[in-house]
Amino acid sequence: MAPDENPLRLGMRRERIAEPCIMVIFGASGDLSRRKLMPALASLSARRLLPPEFTVLGVGRTSWSDEQFRQAMQEAVAEFADRELAAGDQWKAFAGGLMYQCADLGSADVYGELARRLADLDRIRGTGGNRVFYLAMPPSMYAPIIGGLGEAGLGSGPGTGTRIIIEKPFGRDLASAQALNRDVNRVFDESQVYRIDHYLGKETVQNLLVFRFANAFLEPTWNRQFIDHVQISVAEDIGIGDRGGYYEEAGVLRDMFQNHLLQLLCLVAMEAPVAFEADAVRDEKVKVLRAVRSLDAGAHRVHAVRGQYVAGQVLGRPAGAYRDAGGVHPASVTPTYAALKLHVDNWRWQGVPFYLRSGKQLARKTSEISVVYRQVPHLLFGGVARADLVPNVISLRIQPDEGIALSFEAKRPGTSLRMRPVEMDFSYGSAFGLLEMPNAYERLLLDCMLGDSTLFTRRDEVEAAWRVLQPVLDAWDHATEEGLEFYESGTWGPAAADDLLRADGRRWRRM
């Protein structure tokens, strides 16, 4: 049978259409909704993956009628997505299902009215009581909204068509995440809860699982016997923009590590799940987080670097210091960069360090995982020094220029035996003829509507991630300027991060 006739492959390729439902977007007038959610929903609608009954009920304090909401969203889709999505019959069909409710969600009175509006819409639109609540709101509003939904009887229960999507950040430390989980689970069964980390919706992140578990050649070497260490880098070239108030409270560990970087660590380090199913995948990720060696008892002093950007040039343009940004205290010690050395204490990874780094206003925007192999055990080419031999590296590029590269030693042409590292490079764009990678939110919103939570974070998983970082957060939240490493904007971060690896005889990969 030709591979394409294989019914299993055909089954995987067939895209499922969501059931009729109302998606209630709390914070529909906000940035996330305009920039990501509406373009993703408009695109799903254009691809006919949403049923004609699909309805959005946007909620915010901005005083809009349904028609004004439609107009604002049309402008947003035109600005942040393909202009064609916001035009013609395609847009008309989607916009017919856009409704708006002006409400101050801090007031307990509004939820009864919301319940009535939803019941009306169910009748008019034929959505059968299926609802997805999306919290695109400031995190301080999560608990009041969840409580309000519960009071108004809108939580329903397991097995019903009600779901809730909760944006990051999920808590600001372990205790607050546990408290939020309790609030959520008082109203919603865990099977109804979708904690979103848009990184997991990225094609290349999902491809990491396919690469590891759909190919036989990798597994025998994916362990401490062959791998020397792993590097996970998520670099941003932008600063904090006008989000100073938020960032002062968050810092890089809460903003990037608790979610994106630890998720990437899980996907690299996890054992093969028994199936690509929500609980099977998440069980394995939780095991990784539980196996991460604690950074308490002062370990963070040796295994963690915190930095903050000062003025410099990013991609040839002048870039200001963090302390000069709006909403930032002039003597702020909030870290905008961190590098951590973690160990995963289990049979597969004992002794293999995982170096994680992320920062703002760095040399360029890029996310990459590098799996660096050990040196060969014995050198048989005379005249080649061990130090000249570059170890094999598998680089998984998450963004941009998504793809996978394997570097290995090759003989230079000529009569003498000299070698140099070369690369086998797979690029997503050219292999699949893609001009642009699909939007992560499209995949995740559709998955939620289909009831598939594989790519969302479970309660124990989010708490386990906070537990990994808590000792460092405790130390850094009370730290002074001492030990804060300032780095020039447009560089790859502070020299202390290089020293972290140099102390182990290693160095960061050039990106």
Ligand X SMILES: NC(=O)c1ccc[n+]([C@@H]2O[C@H](COP(=O)([O-])OP(=O)(O)OC[C@H]3O[C@@H](n4cnc5c(N)ncnc54)[C@H](OP(=O)(O)O)[C@@H]3O)[C@@H](O)[C@H]2O)c1
- Residue 32 binds ligand X, judged by CB under 6 A: yes
Dihedral (CA of 496, 501, 504, 505) sign: negative
Q: Is 138 in the site for ligand X (CB under 6 A)?
A: yes
Q: How many helices (DSSP H) and strands (DSSP E) are in the chain?
A: 17, 17
Enter the DSSP assignment of 140.
G
Residue 457 is a binding residue for ligand X (CB under 6 A): no
For residue 195, the minimal CB distance to ligand X (Å) is 12
Q: Does 31 bind ligand X (CB under 6 A)?
A: yes
Q: Round to whole Å and give the CA distance between 455 and 196.
A: 8
Q: Least Å distance between CB 457 and ligand X?
A: 13
> Segment near ligand X (CB under 6 A), from 165-173, 388-396, 397-405, 498-506?
165-173
What value does the CA radius of gyration of the chain take, rounded to a whole number of Å?
Answer: 24
Check binding of 168 to ligand X (CB under 6 A): yes
Of 22, 54, 56, 60, the residue at the interface with ligand X (CB under 6 A) is 60
Near ligand X by CB under 6 A: residue from 70, 118, 149, 167: 167
Pick one of 9, 16, 47, 61: the residue that binds ligand X (CB under 6 A): 61
Among the residue ranges 1-9, 30-38, 378-386, 403-411, the one whose residues contact ligand X (CB under 6 A): 30-38
Q: Which is nearer to ligand X, 104 or 499 (CB)?
A: 104
Residue 260 binds ligand X (CB under 6 A): no
Task: Confirm or reject binding of residue 307 to ligand X (CB under 6 A).
Answer: no
> Per rule CB under 6 A, is residue 30 in the interface with ligand X?
yes
Distances (CA, A) of 504 to 207, 228, 231, 406: 30, 11, 13, 23
Q: In what order do the strands lie in the sheet with 98-102?
A: 98-102, 55-60, 22-26, 131-135, 162-166, 193-195
Measured in whole angstroms, how far is the alpha carbon of residue 108 from the centre of its chain?
A: 32
Which residues in 69-128 contact ligand X (CB under 6 A)? 103-106
Catalytic site residue 300? no
Q: Among residues 136 and 227, whose Cβ is nearest to ligand X?
A: 136
Q: Which two tokens stand for residue 116?
A: 């009535």
DSSP string across 237-266: SS--TT-HHHHHHHHHIIIIIIIIIHHHHH
Per CB under 6 A, the list member of 17, 51, 62, 287 interacting with ligand X is: 62
Q: Which is nearer to ligand X, 54 or 64 (CB)?
A: 64
From CA 399, how far away is CA 357, in angstroms rounded?
15
Which among 229, 260, 300, 303 is annotated as catalytic? 260
Of 135-143, 274-282, 418-426, 503-511, the window that binds ligand X (rule: CB under 6 A) is 135-143
CB of 337 to ligand X, least distance (A): 20
Distance between CA atoms of 458 and 472, rounded to whole angstroms?
Answer: 23
Q: 134 vs 354, which CB is nearer to ligand X?
A: 134
* Distance (Å, whole) CA 38 – CA 44: 10
Angstrom distance (rounded) from CA 94 to CA 43:
9
What is the residue whose two structure tokens read 């847009």? 91
Residue 76 or 105 having the CB closest to ligand X: 105
- Tell me if 136 contacts ligand X by CB under 6 A: yes
Task: Return left, alpha or beta for 356; rule: phi > 0 is left, psi -120 to 50 is alpha, else beta.
Answer: beta
Closest distance to ligand X from the beta carbon of 273 (Å): 27
Residue nearest to ligand X (CB): 30
CA distances, 156 to each of 58, 67, 132, 228, 408 (Å): 20, 30, 11, 50, 56
Q: Binding segment for ligand X among 28-36, 261-269, 293-301, 319-327 (CB under 6 A)?
A: 28-36
Task: Please list every residue from 310 through 369 that binds ligand X, using CB under 6 A.
Answer: none
CA distance 273 to 280: 5
Q: Does 35 bind ligand X (CB under 6 A)?
A: yes
| Contact between 191 and ligand X per CB under 6 A | no
Q: Which stretches of the chain bind ligand X, using CB under 6 A? A: 27-33, 35-36, 60-62, 103-106, 136-139, 141, 167-169
Active-site annotation, residues: 260
